[in-house]
Amino acid sequence: MSRLDSFIRRMSAQRDCLDYAAGLITDMRGSVLELGLGNGRTFDHLRSLMPGRDIYVFDRHVRAHPDCIPDEEHMIIGDFRETVPAAKAKMASPALLVHCDIGSGDKDLSVLLARELGGSLPTLLAKGAIVVSDQPFNVKSWRPLPLPKGVAEGRYHIYKQM
């Protein structure tokens, strides 16, 4: 498979998983977390899916399209390992959805980061919250959910906080 085809499948899987997850929390109140702003495409998609929700975005730096950058109150800049544990004080409500786009291209480092975040992310989430991630997590309080039709196993991961 070409790198272009792989990218398209990854983006389609990401969109399908986020659309599915947003549908699961439609009638619930709470905020959203986006770990990894990148160029802002996913943030833009999340705010179109869930207008009116607080979306807190985390990244090391901001290099997104100007139309796809959250306001200062919702943009949290720094290392995830430091900013995620400290975010609870900043959040208006526990998160019902978190999207973790934390893959770096180095599989070992990405898996290690997921392991480290697995200790702090659950404290930011409401019971029943949905986690959508490009990396696998092993968190006791999270149960894997089935992926949407057409998303290959292992391409993306969805969990529910119990």
> Model confidence over 3-59: pLDDT tens digits?
999 899 999 999 999 999 999 999 999 999 999 999 999 999 999 999 999 999 999
Closest CA to 21 of 100, 107, 113: 100
pLDDT for residue 102:
84
CATH number of residue 146's parent domain? 3.40.50.150
Q: Which residues contact 97 (CB under 8 A, 6 or more apart)?
A: 21, 22, 25, 30, 32, 33, 46, 50, 129, 130, 131, 132
Give yes or no for residue 157 having a pLDDT over 90: yes
Domain range for 123: 3-161
pLDDT for residue 106:
76
Integer Cα distance of 31 and 94 in angstroms: 6
The CA-atom distances, in angstroms, between 94 and each of 90, 125, 141 are: 10, 5, 15
**Cβ neighbour number for residue 130 with a 10 Å cutoff:** 27
Q: Which residue has the higher pLDDT, 103 or 83?
A: 83
Mean pLDDT of 69-82: 95
- When divided into structural domains, the chain yields a total of 1
pLDDT for residue 103:
82
**% of the chain beyond a pLDDT of 70:** 100
Integer Cα distance of 59 and 38 in angstroms: 8
Q: Are 9 and 148 in contact (CB under 8 A)?
A: no
Mean pLDDT of the chain: 94
> Model confidence over 114-130: pLDDT tens digits?
899 999 999 999 999 99
